[in-house]
Chains A and B, each alone.
Chain A
Amino acid sequence: MRHPIEQEELMAYLDGELSADQATQALSHLELCPECQTLATDFRRVSHDLMTWEVEASEVGVPSEINAALNERLQKRESVKVSWPKNRVMKNRWVWVGALAIVCVAVGLTFLLTSRNRREDRSTTYPSMASIAQYLMPDRNAEIALARTAAPQSVSNDAKVLILEWRGYETAVEGKNGFVCMVERSWMSPFNSGQFWNPKVRVPQCFNPAAARTILPLIIKRTGMVLAGLSKAQMIDGIKAAYENQELPPPEPGAMCYMMSRAGYLNDALGHYVPHLMFYFPLTDKSSWGADLPDSPVTLNPQFQGGPEPITEFVIAVGKWSDGTPAPAM
């Protein structure tokens, strides 16, 4: 088979460094070329190994003779210090005080600057897309299992399961009850979210049939654009256009999903969050639902809310995780 992309380009593609057109070309070829898929898998493995590689502490100890010699030398130094004349000690004391003051100022400044930067950079912790490999789950069965934890077994057992592959979401298990379970990635966050490219995000969800028809297409669409390397601005324009030309449908009445997994990771701030249900509606004002008012059990999820998707998403926390264990207080 002829390879329209070089190995270096393939590596750049995996690292998210290609332009949108090049990324699309690379993706198209990768989809059809088993040789390149193997190569990509190898690259991913190497990349993963490098990321997880740590220098292990040496198990071989310092020989006792060397240790003894070092101790002896240190003790000699100490005794030399003690026998220094008094005026030299005083002089040295002022040097030490000065040095200590400089260190304190330096540490203080560093702390101040770091904390300020941390505050400023919270929204840019993940400023760009990581390599695609970091968003994929290497173990297919683990992703299927994680997807199913979104809902109680009575719902997820017979649900279709989608998993994320190089080209987008693919069916891993066919379903029988119209529900679709999958693990959402960070790019379903609001476009202005600092978590948009957080590769740690794993959000298990099970959509009911109405949501599978009307919300899932949006997730597929966004994911496709992300994997094709489009910019946020391009994605926003593409989604707007897709709603305008009715390529993407509005939420059907009764569209909802289960998010009851204790194994999920919603973002760095929320972690697993609490088990909850989400209900989708055409764009509406949250006040009409009493959402986000004190003591109201209904909250608005800002995931879409017109930015640009014309969808409002309400969240209602429930008492248990999908495995039946009690949930923490909201």
Chain B
Amino acid sequence: MRSDTRVVFACLTFAVMIAFSTVRRLQPQNNSAPATMASIDPYLMDRDSEIAMARSAAPQSIAKHAKVMVLGRHGYETAVEGKNGFACLVGRSWDLPKNNPAFWDPKIHGPICLSAPAVRSFLPIYLKKTELAIAGRSNDQIEEVIIEGIAKGELPTPEPGSVSYMMSKQGYLNASIRGPWLPHVMFFVPEIDPKALGSDLGDDVPLDAREEKIGRYTTIDVPVSNWSDGTPSPKMTGGH
């Protein structure tokens, strides 16, 4: 993998996290970050724009028949009913690790379309986080509740076949890359060492895996060649 792609991969951690996946402690506690959400207003979007952005996560053949969820004042609500078992939505910052300074950054938007198994076994964790964030819980409290919920079996761990598409050009996944990173397919598997997938063994490996200790799963990201609209991803096709 080229050095520029290496830089992009270094940023992947953030991207994955905001896409309901990786919770990895990359950065030390930033005391200047607010401990709770001040107001929901900065996180809300125009409803139609949010529906369109959510759908841009996957190719039309998947997204057009998917359920679409948008963020409202009391949490996520269904904006469009679906037919194919997939659910598309725009993730917000509170899925980041609790120590990340961007934990309450309203600019962060991670469009994602989740397969039916991921809707059943992964989405509930993110929805619970959202509920707690809106209820004014701190980042520490959110994490505690999630850990406890999984330990008690009230929250699920990933089912086989839990996969998601993150192929939107419109995302803003973190403050470092200020954009969508690369189009990629991401799937969730029960905890497995990333090295056992080849991740972190070298820069020439075309996937990136992260262990999410809190959620007890591992995400595997495989960059793909095209964005959801069919245009080529320059970094995957050798151009810039």
Contact = CB atoms under 8 A, between A and B. Distances in A.
Interface of A: 151-155, 177-179, 208-210, 253-254, 256, 258, 260, 275, 277, 279, 281-282, 284, 287-290, 293-298, 316-320, 322, 324, 326, 329-330
A324 B237 contact: no
A322 B201 CA distance: 14
A154 B6 CA distance: 15
A293 B62 contact: yes
A152 B236 contact: no
Contacts of B59: 290, 293-297
B140 interface: no
A295 B206 contact: no
Interface residues of B, number: 47
B115 A178 contact: no
Given A155-B201, A281-B160, 10 more contacts: A209-B196, A253-B190, A254-B196, A290-B113, A293-B59, A298-B185, A318-B206, A318-B224, A319-B237, A326-B238
Contacts of B222: 277, 316, 318
Given A288-B85, A290-B58, A295 B225 contact: no
A151 B117 CA distance: 29
B225 A282 contact: no
Contacts of B33: none
Contact of A258 (B160, B185, B198, B220): B198
A324 B223 contact: no
Nearest to A212: B196
B161 A330 contact: no
A270 B58 CA distance: 27
Contacts of B167: 297
A319 B185 contact: no
A153 B1 CA distance: 12
B68 to A, nearest CB: 15
A178 B237 contact: no
B35 interface: no
A70 to B, nearest CB: 60
B84 to A, nearest CB: 7
Interface in B184-220: 185, 187, 189-190, 192, 195-198, 201-207, 218, 220
B3 interface: no
Interface string B53-96: 00000111110000000000000000000001110000000000
Main secondary structure of the interface of B (DSSP, over half): loop
B186 to A, nearest CB: 11
Contacts of B58: 290, 296
B139 interface: no
Nearest to B229: A295
In the complex, the 7 A-B pairs of residues with the closest C-beta atoms, listed nearest first? A154-B202, A295-B59, A152-B204, A293-B61, A297-B224, A318-B206, A319-B236
A329 B190 CA distance: 32
Contacts of A177: 195, 201
B165 interface: yes
Contacts of B62: 290, 293, 296
B60 A295 contact: yes
B224 A208 contact: no
A316 B224 contact: yes
B132 interface: no
13 contacts: A210-B196, A253-B189, A254-B218, A256-B197, A260-B206, A277-B207, A288-B161, A290-B61, A290-B62, A294-B59, A294-B61, A296-B62, A297-B59
Contacts of B61: 290, 293-296
A151 B84 contact: no
Nearest to B188: A253
Nearest to A319: B236
Nearest to B222: A316
A80 B196 CA distance: 85
Given A288-B117, A288-B161, A155 B86 contact: no
Contacts of A284: 160-161
Contacts of B108: none
Nearest to A330: B225
Nearest to B195: A177
A329 B232 CA distance: 10
A290 B88 CA distance: 13
A176 to B, nearest CB: 11
A152 B116 contact: no
Contacts of A287: 84-85
B185 A316 contact: yes
A153 B204 contact: yes
Contacts of A330: 225
A209 B220 CA distance: 15
A290 B112 CA distance: 14
Contacts of B190: 253-254
